[in-house]
Chains A and B, each alone.
Chain A
């Protein structure tokens, strides 16, 4: 449920793979909060990496190769995309490979969850990019810049934001964080505006020079335009985020998702083990039953042959007690009566 809600909140214009942004990020949160997570992810990834004997030439390159492939496939994708842009953490863990491959191969319906490896599967759609392409892509990211809007004028939609900012240069992605659903319902309940409101936003420029220019020009100024227009007098608060790229926004969520996936996988394997034990026990019980049945038949036969009335049959009725289970408590009738007596006494008194 929460996932779908998250999707609803989503307000980016281009459906790039960034659809799992926290809307709780605040101005410093974006740049500061990330650091420990990245570090942690790096540590985990490092440990995992050491276990694998994969030849990783240049992690950075690899990560970016994924970015491009992802970007190519991005228009096909909807729903939960494991924000591929977020893998700055150089993690080459199995999960990532799986996730990516699953998405890429979804048309072929590969249900092979485990052990899919890019190296073993050269025909997979995830192909390595050529060095020039990689270089291009890297340069593109290097060149891009992100600005932060600490406040969005009331009910302004992403399209309008895009329109205002694209004056300065080509934009890539826009994300506006929607308001708290609670405050929305409260407003609507008291007869307020039913339009969606946004609280803050991030915009990616293809060229960071343009981003800087936009920020310095618009910051603290009215939006202007036509005199009578709705947003004419609204002031923008816009800041260029130095040394900040779009993927920094999504990495926390990507990391959390990844952790969750791993945990779920562990849980399920545990469940599978338990189920196997149950199945084994069921089989064993059947076997024992069968043996006992046979024994009984045999005994019955011999008895009819001998026709001795010495002993009653000592079988099936007596089941060997292997284990005693602790029994849950039962409410005794007497205790209940006593309690009720007390209540009655209090009430009548």
Chain B
């Protein structure tokens, strides 16, 4: 089922590329069709989904791959993975719609890369063999790199290079950790394996666990990203085309949070508890620093990028608080932030498409000529500042409630991030929507864009008013965490 899912995306990617030579409009339709048909393998699963009585692992597929090291092509799906896979596919659709008119240079190759990187991300969310996970982790970078380097804005080469080097550095450190973990396991059990479950059983000595854990941790927080490893994100976001920013913010950053929940916490429960105070402090700093940096930006896209740093701090905070609510909050935050930030990037892209600028000083008074776009922008800005009733509020509230019981002081510090979020979010609204109109009027959102925005509005309201099904779906996976951490 998962193998099919990934193959559909890859085949669609190839078709999109080939079709470019027939007709330039064809690739985007193929991309849409591919993403829609990717839901097909999941249909049965989604239909029979019953969060009350479900098993931890909904799907489990394993094929022999490299027998020398007992490496298997092992894909599996639990509630957490399912949520993130669905997010990936939905945001993929949004990204294709966002790219609809913007990408005219070599569209076939663009959609090829887009679909390949989505396939890689889905692989990351499903892989349960550490080697396979690493392969997907690295492979999703290459198409992403090409997307930024070819279709980005002025400074794209620098940004693409920085993106690749940062994540590759993290990846290599993780590779060392994987190797060390596997060999330590072999030393004890005499069996060489990269299997997630087998390695989870293994008890490492305290010192070894710390170092091995650190390798994974660094790789994931670079991706998340967390101060001081956040440096690549503003550049990558600013230079990337809109669709790529959407994917980057909505999906790629989530692989970091997913990695923490799936690998670091279950594989190294004791070491994670031990470093939790430090990590919580880093998370709080990241939240505040990201918010302050966001406030001081003049470039709209950079502002949203820094707000991502701040919001993803909540994910890290939630992961290391070691309470059930905080974990639920972290999962919800990944989803809600994915949707709201993707929407913000899409809107910024829409503004840039119309006015060819993202400079806050040059924008203003958009409400007078673009009421639909402005209304949407206001909605998502308000969502991102954590308005009750919308997804982000539930997520951040749960994280803060969950963390307060274990780390009250750090949580109070982190909570100021919400106030700062209000400041920078209102700055966006204030400086773009209100005031005097400084630019020529332009056409408002067309039907395609309205559809795209409206679906994200619905998602956010649903997440905000009725998050329980989502929480239930992820609950089984989170229960595994609490068993591991002996809570």
Do A and B interact with each other, yes or no? no
B contact set with A: CB distance below 8 Å: none
